[in-house]
Amino acid sequence: MTTAAARPIGDVILTLEHISLAFGGVKALADISFDVREHEIRAIIGPNGAGKSSMLNVINGVYRPQEGTITFRGEVRRNMEPHHAAAQGIARTFQNIALFKGMSVLDNIMTGRNLRMRTSFIEHALHWGRANREEIENRHRVEEIIDFLEIQHIRKAPVGKLPYGLQKRVELARALAAEPSLLLLDEPMAGMNVEEKQDMCRFVLDVNGQYGTTIVLIEHDMGVVMDISDRVVVLDYGRKIGDGVPDEVRSSKAVIDAYLGAAH
């Protein structure tokens, strides 16, 4: 396994302060604050329904919190449109794979380059030199990512036909194609077998190590989480019950209670 020592953890790039989110009467998140430092792998864990995915959705603008502020790279905001979040360098994957099923792997990953393309509609439509060059440049970047994630052999395959584990990998590839500074992974290893999980772990660590991408991930597999993350936030019923390095979290009484059930 790659060592974490190679990448120095930098300053705080994302701060969430007093985030509260409710759907009608249901409180999904209550007064949650934590931060994410540059180049780190930050895990969010918690039992089912703890509000982990809601948290990611707040970060990338799908949900608008009723209270609290989000500071990303010095810019304070209350809420945000998802495509603005993408423009700011936040990419993500979804819990229930959200790929473009009818398109090939290559086209799916190319959509990730969407924001990197600068030429106008008209130039593109007429296949002007600049637009063509741009398309080719972007193809190069995409091919690098394909090599990186070892999915060369399925490059042309329609995504809908691939097995689940590979679809997850393609989704990661699409997120990486945007060259994000912050990558949100919603249960990247859910439903995978041991071997696939090991592969995915390796990819997550490599992305972090080679590209220096900051990663926020949600994962249920405690072994994985404790192995690869630098710091862990623990949520339970929408509240934060733990925050720290894996060892601290592991020995925290509140966390153990939440997972195993407290003896009352």
Partner 1 sequence: MQFFFEVLIGGLLSGVMYSLVALGFVLIYKASGVFNFAQGSMVFFAALTFVGLLEKGLGFWLALPATLAVMIVLGLVIERIVLRPLINQPQITLFMATIGLSFFIEGLAQLMWGANVRGLELGIQDEPLQWVSDVAGVNVSKFDLVAAGIAAVLVSTLAIFFSRTRIGRALRAVADDHQAALAVGIPLQQIWGIVWAVAGAVALVAGLLWGARNGVQFALTFVALKALPVLILGGFESIPGAVVGGLIVGASEKLAEVYVGPYVGGGIEGWFPYVLALLFLLVRPEGLFGEKIIRRI
Residues forming contacts to partner 1 in the complex (CB under 8 A) are: 60, 62, 81-83, 86-87, 91-92, 94, 98-103, 107, 110-112, 114-115, 117, 121, 124-126, 131, 135, 158, 160-163, 174-175, 178
168/231 with CB nearer partner 1: 168
Min CB(57)–partner 1 separation in Å: 10
> In this complex, which beta carbon is closest to partner 1, that of residue 177 or of residue 241?
177
In angstroms, the CA 228 to CA 225 distance is 6
Q: What's the Cα-to-Cα distance from 115 to each of 4, 131, 144, 197, rounded to whole Å?
A: 30, 14, 18, 30
Strands 12-23 and 26-37 turn out to be antiparallel
Write down the residue that tokens 């690098």 correspond to: 144
Beta carbon of residue 8, minimum distance to partner 1 (angstroms, whole number)? 29
Count other Cβ atoms within 10 Å, centred on residue 44: 27
Q: Specify the residue, 211 or 237, whose C-beta has the smaller distance to partner 1.
A: 211
User: How many whole angstroms separate alpha carbon 32 and alpha carbon 16?
Assistant: 7
CB of 87 to partner 1, least distance (A): 6
| Least Å from the CB of residue 141 to partner 1 | 14
Smallest gap, in angstroms, from Cβ of residue 239 to partner 1? 27
**Closer of 135 and 257 to partner 1 (Cβ):** 135
* Phi, psi dihedral angles at 237 (to 5 degrees): 45, 40
Residue closer to partner 1, measured from CB, 178 or 192: 178
- Cβ atoms of 12 and 36 within 8 Å: the answer is yes
Q: Which is nearer to partner 1, 60 or 229 (CB)?
A: 60
Minimum distance, C-beta of residue 205 to partner 1, in the bound complex (Å): 23
B/e letters for 152-189, b = 16+ CB within 10 Å, e = fewer, are: eebeeeebeebeebbbbbbbbbbbbbbbbbbbbbbbbb
182-186 and 67-72 strand pairing: unpaired
Report the alpha-carbon distance of residue 214 to residue 208 in Å, rounded. Answer: 6
